A and B are shown apart, each in its own frame.
Chain A
Amino acid sequence: MSKSKQLIIIDEELCTGCGRCKDVCPVDAISGIHGEPHKIDSSRCIFCGQCVQTCSAYSSILDEPETPRADKLRERGMFQSTTEPLFAAYCAGDVFEISDALKSDKFTMVQCAPAVRVSIGEDFGMKAGSLTPGKMAAALRRLGFNKVYDTNFAADLTIMEEGNELLSRVKNNGTLPMFTSCCPAWVRYMELNYPDLLPHLSSCKSPQQMSGALFKTYGADINGKQRTEIYSVAVMPCTCKKFESARPEMSMEGHRDVDAVLTTRELAYMIREAGIDFESLPDEDFDKPLGTYSGAGNIFGVTGGVMEAALRTAYELVSGEPVPETDLIFVRGEEGFRIASMTMGEQTFKIAVVAGLTNVAPLLEKVRAGNAEVDFVEVMCCPSGCISGGGQPKVLLPTERDEVYRCRKESMYSHDKNSKIRKSHENPDVQKAYTEFLGEPLGHTSHKLLHTVFGKQDA
């Protein structure tokens, strides 16, 4: 995991020591004297990349650089053709590795997280929050991926597993409250800072890892391939997803579930490098069955989305009736901490949504003290959920950031609203996957492929 240790880096030549990264770091992993280059303590860093989004110290063409731009680009894992300015804080990239895999005889499968389709257009000059799932699928196909699947499929699957896990915990007096485990920065935060509370985390792998595990089993079967022939790539709004995919437990028989992760920004580099005109691409569909998704799966990319998706399905599981209103407005919002309750049949569930890790500690202290009156909690590390992730297109000016995030969020919800299927359990290909391959939620195969045990990380 040596590579992951160097994931988020501050370029000493460019850092002016302004300390804005330090202010935005939710885990106090950045230190340095004002006016001198700052450093990241990798043993505390949760790789969320918010410092990358915030940093404005850039390499100016008016200054003579100590290290030439070409060398810096190579060091950062960026193509020489990349025109964007280089900032001090950055995430080490993987485009070279993935370009090589695309040229090899591997059978390449790619998945895209929900928050990528509402932001990638921005890096091609499109307006904030442009919704481009079809162009993204088309671009990935032109880049040479053999199968263009979607993380949203696994988001629906996560709801099936996580929803059933919650109900099982409630029924069997299991550990409550249960916390979501989709956000790898949040999981790492728990492991580093609250190891005693780890049983509260859902045992579900994140959608990225569920997809990866399915690609190399179910996906391999469907495509008549061996696990060893498949190279699995994920496109993510998140820098920590690179860390997550490299965790040793996220592999089977020595083969990683997800071989490599591209951030949204890196996918844009690849599209540019290949000379693809993104804006003029036609809308294409994701490949089936692992690219079929519901609106519920899509809203995973925004704060409150996992909770809303889960409640839409849980309501039906508990009461036997469809949820009266699909839009569960009460879990949406901007605040870093929100609580609500929902009655399903004869049961009332208390839920909480946390956006931004700086807002989670008070709740965790309550859980520790045994007086957190809540059953299910969604936690996302980034301030507005994945749409504001560390791997997303970098909004240059903080004065524009809120508006851009608002536009991305609006697109997430409108994509859900306009989906024919809006509940995870109604996704026909998820249903088919259970019938043909997985059996039942929390069953033997699900347990083996889709669940994991989170442990204390030795930093």
Chain B
Amino acid sequence: MSSSLNHFIAADPEKCIGCKLCEVACSQAHSSGPAFTAGALSAPILPRLYVVQTPEITIPVQCRHCEDAPCANCCPVSAISRKNGAIVVETKLCVGCKTCMLACPFGAIELLPVYKNGAPVMQAVLCENGETSMDEVPMLFAGKCDLCSDRKKGPACVEVCPEKALSLIDPSRMKRERNIKAAMSFLNTSQNFS
């Protein structure tokens, strides 16, 4: 795996209808607990991919798993690293500094609240103006696509898309396949010349 390029998920804007089901599925894939109905959800939907809708295009944007990942390079606490061919955030290490968010050229990282047992996890921070010197604020982490690496069936967004607009791309394989296609095309064309 280490020698091949990182995989990533690409969406086809011609197919995407903007239903946001990929976001719901992503959130579900990254939440613990048995909740599979809306009523049982006690935490908000927290996706790691973001459906963008403009007059020109509708498409989900998510991490490209860059080979020289700017987010990983700039993380001051080394919370982002390459793992099984994907760039992943070690949530426990993340301090919510937002450096990765700024560094990502795609805007594929969002600071998300940490939820546990249906409630946001709070953290105490020093505060000058409060009644006490400490304030309780929600704990945040850098949420990004991890290719659902812990999920047997692969990325949840790809599985659930009703339009089959999303696919998991293996760049090395795709390159080889395109080379073969090009070669075959060349062969067919050259036969016409002889």
Q: Which residues of A contact B (CB under 8 A)?
A: 16-20, 34-35, 56-58, 60-62, 83-85, 87, 122-128, 265, 268-269, 393-400, 404
Contact pick for A57, options B20, B33, B44, B162, CB 8 Å? B20
Question: What chain A residues lie within 8 Å of B23 (beta carbons)?
Answer: 58, 60
Complex Cα spacing A444 to B96, Å? 74
Point out the residues of chain A lying under 8 angstroms from B17, CB to CB.
18-20, 34
A19-B113 Cα distance, complex, nearest whole Å: 31
Cβ contacts under 8 Å, A397 to chain B: 21, 24-25, 28, 36, 160
A393 engages B162 (CB within 8 Å): no
Please name 7 pairs of A and B residues whose Cβ atoms are closer than 8 Å in the assembled complex, sorted by A. Answer: A16-B19, A18-B17, A34-B17, A62-B50, A62-B110, A122-B36, A394-B38
Secondary structure of the A contact surface, majority rule: loop
- For window 35-82 of B, CB contacts with A under 8 Å fall at 35-47, 50-51, 53, 55, 58
- Asked, given contacts A56-B24, A83-B41, A83-B42, whether A396 binds B36 with beta carbons under 8 Å apart, the answer is yes
Say which residue of B19, B38, B47, B50 sits within 8 Å of A396 (CB atoms).
B38
B159 adjacent to chain A (CB < 8 Å):
yes
Chain A CB within 8 A of B130 CB? no
Most buried by A among B43, B46, B55, B162: B162
Beyond A35-B18, A60-B23, A122-B40, whether A396 also contacts B28 by CB under 8 A is: yes
Q: B-side interface residues toward A, CB under 8 Å?
A: 17-21, 23-25, 28, 33-47, 50-51, 53, 55, 58, 110, 113, 118, 159-160, 162
CA A394 – CA B110 in complex, angstroms? Answer: 27
CA distance A400 to B29 in the complex (A): 13
A35→B42 CA distance, assembly (Å)? 29
Residue of B nearest to A122 (CB): B37
B28:A393 contact, CB within 8 angstroms:
no
- Asked if B33 contacts A20 (CB within 8 A), the reply is no
Q: Are A127 and B38 in contact (CB under 8 A)?
A: no
- A125 near B160 with CB under 8 A, answer no
Docked pose: A17 CA to B55 CA in angstroms: 12
